[in-house]
């Protein structure tokens, strides 16, 4: 009762409401918060910056913009390993608002600085944004309905990536907004909706006692506890991180150079092509992850998460093979590649580690594991993007993407199957120890 008095009216109302109302409000709040964040991160990739080079080198300016933002984003993920695993609820709202203010100011600098210095501005834009995901996940993890809530959140960046790029293209083509000013203008359109979304998210009630009993209490982690978590799951985490290293690079390449790939496929002038393709991807991912909510047993829930991820990497290879044989169109192929990659990618940032902690009873929070993965994953994105221009400059982005898809499908499927077997063996050993101690 004392806790209820400390809550706001909307929070207390949500506590008293049936589960469907709570779920709808929480998903809407988390979805819109992260959706709006993408308006400050991704619209610049809708522009092609054609013919522009960095300091008269062979590096294309757009590639450098993409890499610079990812470097800032990756550094933010490294910082987030500590910050997001320790942050208290009272600090989250202030941090979310501060990060967006800094990101939008960086987009203003991107618009006004000389071309070569814009690289610094886009780096500063990525620097605060990498911690937004972890702060939002804190509101959703450790609940009986976490799969459904996290699936709704994950849908946000799949859809948002396409929508904000289409908004950027619309601003440039219809309103003749300069390609360097377009990211700032896009951010201004979504600024007030972001503020409202953060306020709504902060009204979400804390996890209940029933949630804690079902999914293990989620606690902030100090340095010793973080290191213990890594040592406990070392072998399985290494395999997961190698897969995620390349998977993040793949997803970033498809996302940032989608305009060029669609143009090469003959869809360059198609209206809202990004939204059309990513909407199907989002629906498929949400449907797959939503099914995990039906699995109450945490061990089988972990197996289900791995099954979805492995199906995704297999889909990427099979879809590319079908496209190469002329059996499907370029748009269908891009949808299958997107769906497959996101089926493998999204669980890393949502249900995989949530189920892993619940299944093993490990002390900690999924946010920590998510940020370790992201810090490594975005390192992979930087490596692959630079390697493409420096070592495979004569290969078109479309062909590079095709080859990369086959590679990712084979490697990802093998590593995910191996890591699934490892965690199942770990779970069984833990269960036997628990039974022995009980007897």
Q: How confident is the model at residue 5 (pLDDT cuts 50, 70, 90)?
A: very low
- Number of structural domains found in the chain: 1
pLDDT above 70: residue 215: no
Residue 106 forms part of a structural domain = yes
Please indicate, yes or no, if residue 212 is contained in any of the structural domains: no
* pLDDT of amino acid 435: 61
**CA separation for the pair 303, 335 (Å, rounded):** 25
Say if 213 falls within a structural domain.
no
**Per-residue confidence (pLDDT) for residue 4, from 0 to 100:** 41
Residue 215 lies in a domain: no
pLDDT in tens, 304-344: 999 999 999 999 999 999 999 999 999 999 999 999 999 99
Is the pLDDT at 3 greater than 50? The verdict is no
pLDDT computed for residue 234 by the predictor: 86
- With vertex at residue 152, the alpha carbon angle to CA 254 and CA 79, rounded to the nearest 5 degrees, is 65
Do residues 203 and 378 make contact, with C-beta atoms less than 8 angstroms apart?
A: no
pLDDT tens-digit readout, 39-72: 999 888 888 787 777 776 667 788 888 889 989 9
400 is in which domain, residue-wise? 2-206+220-438
Domain presence at residue 201:
yes
- CATH (domain of 363): 1.20.1250.20
The answer, yes or no, to whether residue 13 has pLDDT greater than 80, is yes
Q: In this predicted structure, what is the pLDDT of residue 371?
A: 77
Residue 324 within a domain: yes
- Tell me whether residue 57 is in a domain: yes
Q: 52 near 62, Cβ under 8 Å?
A: yes
As a whole-number percent, the residues of the chain with pLDDT over 90 amount to 40
Cα 123 from Cα 109, distance rounded (Å): 11
In a domain, 211, yes or no: no
The CA-atom distances, in angstroms, between 305 and each of 10, 170, 345, 371 are: 33, 37, 11, 18
């Amino acid at each position: 009762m004392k806790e209820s008095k400390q809550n706001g009216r909307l929070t207390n109302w949500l506590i008293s409401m049936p589960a469907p109302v709570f779920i709808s409000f929480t998903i809407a709040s988390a979805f819109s918060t992260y959706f709006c964040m993408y308006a400050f991160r991704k619209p610049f990739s809708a522009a092609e910056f054609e013919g522009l080079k960095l300091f008269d080198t062979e590096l294309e300016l757009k590639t450098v913009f993409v890499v610079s933002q990812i470097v800032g984003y990756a550094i933010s993920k490294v910082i987030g390993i500590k910050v997001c695993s320790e942050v208290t609820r009272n600090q989250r709202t202030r941090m979310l608002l501060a990060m967006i203010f800094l990101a939008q100011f960086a987009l203003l600098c991107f618009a006004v600085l000389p071309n070569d210095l814009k690289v610094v501005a886009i780096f500063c834009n990525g620097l605060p944004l990498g911690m937004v995901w972890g702060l939002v996940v804190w509101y959703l993890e450790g609940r009986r309905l976490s799969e459904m809530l996290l699936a709704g959140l994950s849908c946000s960046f799949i859809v948002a990536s396409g929508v904000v790029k289409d908004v950027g293209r619309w601003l440039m083509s219809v309103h003749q907004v300069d390609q360097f000013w377009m990211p700032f203008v896009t951010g201004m359109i979504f600024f007030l909706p972001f503020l409202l979304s953060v306020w709504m998210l902060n009204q979400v009630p804390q996890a209940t006692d029933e949630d804690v009993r079902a999914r293990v209490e989620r606690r902030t982690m100090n340095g010793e506890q973080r290191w213990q978590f890594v040592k406990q799951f070392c072998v399985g985490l290494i395999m997961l991180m190698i897969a995620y290293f390349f998977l993040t690079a793949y997803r970033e390449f498809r996302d940032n150079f989608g305009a060029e790939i669609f143009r090469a496929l003959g869809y360059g002038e198609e209206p809202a092509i990004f939204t059309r393709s990513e909407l199907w991807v989002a629906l498929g991912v949400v449907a797959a992850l939503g099914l995990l909510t039906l699995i109450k047993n945490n061990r089988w829930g972990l197996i289900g998460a791995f099954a979805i991820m492995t199906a995704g990497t297999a889909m990427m290879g099979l879809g590319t093979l079908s496209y190469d044989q002329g059996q499907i169109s370029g748009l269908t192929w891009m949808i299958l590649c997107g769906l497959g990659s996101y089926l493998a990618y999204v669980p890393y940032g949502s249900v995989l580690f949530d189920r892993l902690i619940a299944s093993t009873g490990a002390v900690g929070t999924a946010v920590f594991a998510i940020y370790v993965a992201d810090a490594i994953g975005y390192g992979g994105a930087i490596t692959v993007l630079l390697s493409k221009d420096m070592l495979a400059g004569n290969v078109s982005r479309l062909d590079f993407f095709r080859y990369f898809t086959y590679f990712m499908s084979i490697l990802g499927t093998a590593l995910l199957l191996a890591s699934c077997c490892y965690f199942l063996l770990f779970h069984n050993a833990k269960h036997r120890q628990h039974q022995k101690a009980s007897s």
